[in-house]
Amino acid sequence: MKSLKNKNIFFIIIFLSVIFNFFNFYKIDYKYNKYSSLEVEHRIIKGEILKYWTSAKKSENYKIHVVDNYRNAYLYPKLLFVYSKILNFDFFDKNKNISLDTKFFIFCLQYIFYLLAVITFYKKFEKYFDKGHLNILLFILLLDPNINQHHYALFSESTFISLLILFLAFSNILIIKRTQNNPLLIFQIFLLGILLGLMFLTRSVSIYYIVVIFVFLIVIKNYSNIIFLSLGYSIVILFIGTNNLIVNEKFKIAPTQGGDAIYGYLAADVYAYENNLSIPEVRKLFFRDNVKNFLNINEEQLEDYRNNSKMVDIIKLNKYKSEESLKILTENPLTTIKILIFHYSKTLLIHPFWVNNFYQKNYIGRSDYKETNVNLSLQNKIRIIYSIIFYLLFLYGFYLSLKQFNWKINFLLFLSILYFYILPGFIGNPRYFLPSYTIMTIFVSLSIHYLFLKIKIPKNNFNKL
């Protein structure tokens, strides 16, 4: 009877999630799959999304090869290209404007992949976690507004957290000690390495996540798994590196975009603060004047450089930007600390309205963005309350997990949360906090399970591993 009840809850949550999300997809597509009143930009396909969209279009001629000097992570534009073939939509119309073909089914495909990843996690962990805890976790993962908003956005977040959840679903095999030759286990760990590689190809922030896994395996003294994990990961690294060698004449693993992230988001803000300048003023100085001086070219030549530069040119310029960043940050340590604290704090402020805000407003690039203060609007008040409740539940859930979870899985989850917060957190964008947020829901759901349902949680079966 109890088993039947849990099964009913499982299907009810999935049913509610499907109805809720498909309704949102239809509403977003109907409301925003159009141009603004001035017909300047498409409401959905703009900013960073437009770069993915354009790269996906180029994949029609370069199906496997990297495009755009490997500016962004490789996989997501390729997925959009595959979706275009499955769903038979165009990226641009005959006038080279964004196609108004429905985006509803793209949202659906992203959501279905995520749903399958969550169900896989649920099934893999139902013999280790209490069913009540798992059902609450399922409810949060499938209905939480901060997560769900990314399924109807054409950023890479939805796909990335789907891959992350799949990785965590199969992470228990990393804990198992290989006391004897086990070909099946070796192959599974090899595949897990490939999965880590696919995460990197989706979002470059995960490039060093495998180092976190290595640290985890060293701490739990499971050294042999490092070899097989590395082999799987190396397949992906060799693929993207060789791809760049063929297309761009340079064996390059990380996207070139990462080369100016600190320069554009941290060093620029430090310089602006120290010299009492606005962000647009500093961005012009950093990305136009400084670049022209470094390359010894004029304004007209700069545009030509941006349109025709090769990857080796971009790498050379990124090296200069890195050196300039280091100089600015080391010369202004106190300001750097202040800006870092501010940006990491902004990252922690959960933003369930991010995607809707993005669609509602005209896109403003950071070079033109003047607002630097966090105002206390109604929306931000809701975000603050939302964040406080979430983090209190997380802290209490983490405390409970110290008694309920095997320390190894707790250690892996904690390392993962820290990694995906620290690495992109200096940018100050709450959207980049989504991977950490998603993992933290494991502890939040444990806390809710204990506090509100008052169910006695049995000792976690992870101790049997």
Contacts of 243 (CB under 8 A, 6+ apart): 64, 65, 66, 74
pLDDT value of residue 370: 53
Residue type, 259: G
Backbone phi and psi for residue 59, each to the nearest 5 degrees, phi listed first: -65, -15
How far is it, in rounded angstroms, from Cα 196 to Cα 206? 8
pLDDT value of residue 7: 74
Answer whether residue 150 shows pLDDT above 70: yes
Q: How many residues does the chain have?
A: 465
How far CA 79 is from CA of 89, 157, 199, 201, 202, in Å, comes to 13, 13, 13, 11, 10
How far is it, in rounded angstroms, from Cα 179 to Cα 112? 38
pLDDT value of residue 8: 87
How far is it, in rounded angstroms, from Cα 43 to Cα 36? 6
Instruction: Give the model confidence (pLDDT) of 327-375 as tens digits.
Output: 999 999 999 999 999 999 999 999 999 999 999 887 666 555 555 455 7
Return the exposure string of 109-145: e unless at least 16 CB atoms fall within 10 Å of the residue's CB, then b.
Answer: bbbebbbebbbbbbebbeebbbbbbbbbbbbbbbebe
Instruction: Give the model confidence (pLDDT) of 186-228 as tens digits.
Output: 899 999 999 999 999 999 999 999 999 999 999 998 888 899 9
Judge residue 35's burial from the number of C-beta atoms within 10 Å of its C-beta, 0-12 exposed, 13-18 middle, 19 or more buried.
middle
How far is it, in rounded angstroms, from Cα 439 to Cα 409? 12
Instruction: Give the model confidence (pLDDT) of 224-252 as tens digits.
Output: 889 999 999 999 999 999 999 999 888 99
pLDDT value of residue 5: 65
pLDDT value of residue 335: 96
pLDDT value of residue 137: 96
Answer whether residue 387 shows pLDDT above 90: yes
Residue spans per domain, the chain: 2-250+378-464, 256-331
How far is it, in rounded angstroms, from Cα 210 to Cα 237? 12
How far CA 222 is from CA of 120, 154, 228, 268, in Å, comes to 25, 39, 12, 43
Q: pLDDT above 90 covers what percent of the chain?
A: 69
pLDDT value of residue 205: 93
CA angle, residues 186, 188, 191, in degrees to nearest 5: 110
Q: Which two tokens stand for residue 115?
A: 């749903």
Find the distance separating the first CA and the last CA of the chain, reported in whole Å. 28
User: Within 10 A of 63 (CB to CB), how many other CB atoms are there?
Assistant: 10
CA 203 and chain centroid, separation:
6
pLDDT value of residue 273: 93
Nearest to 397 by CA among 121, 142, 175, 140: 140
Contacts of 458 (CB under 8 A, 6+ apart): 130
* Beta strand spans in 377-451 (E): none
- The answer to whether the CB of 205 falls within 8 A of the CB of 420 is yes
* Tokens 């534009």, residue located: 77
Judge residue 303's burial from the number of C-beta atoms within 10 Å of its C-beta, 0-12 exposed, 13-18 middle, 19 or more buried.
exposed
pLDDT value of residue 338: 96
Answer whether residue 121 shows pLDDT above 90: yes
Secondary structure letter of residue 40 according to DSSP: S
CA 64 and chain centroid, separation:
23
How far is it, in rounded angstroms, from Cα 317 to Cα 329? 18
- The answer to whether the CB of 428 falls within 8 A of the CB of 343 is yes
pLDDT value of residue 299: 85
pTM, 2 dp: 0.92
Nearest to 264 by CA among 292, 288, 297, 299: 288
Instruction: Give the model confidence (pLDDT) of 254-275 as tens digits.
Output: 898 888 889 999 999 999 999 9
Reported confidence tier of residue 178, pLDDT bands at 50, 70, 90: low
How far is it, in rounded angstroms, from Cα 283 to Cα 286? 5
